[in-house]
Amino acid sequence: MGSRQEGEDRVLRWLAITHRKDGRIAIEIHEVCDEGSTGWIDVYDFSSLDPNEEWTEHVFDDPQQALDFAASLGASPDRFVNEVR
């Protein structure tokens, strides 16, 4: 989703789109400090920009609604990746 400079920190914004056990689609919005290096690029493990704040989650009944919402936030479908965790 991109990055921005905030003070001395580079902030990464990314989304996770998941299929929940109840059949609905969840989109989580994350903002993390860019702590990456050539040997460590796992944004799942980067520190949250605000450690006192949880990520934001939006839930949808229809996959297309979720994708449309992601696009409205600036997510680019050609940059989606698939990862099983």
Which helix (H) or strand (E) segment holds residue 30: the answer is strand 25-33
Per-residue pLDDT of the chain (85 residues; tens, 9 = 90+): 777 888 888 888 888 898 999 999 999 888 888 876 677 677 777 777 777 776 678 999 999 999 999 999 988 888 777 765 5
Contacts of 71 (CB under 8 A, 6+ apart): 77
- pTM assigned to the model: 0.73
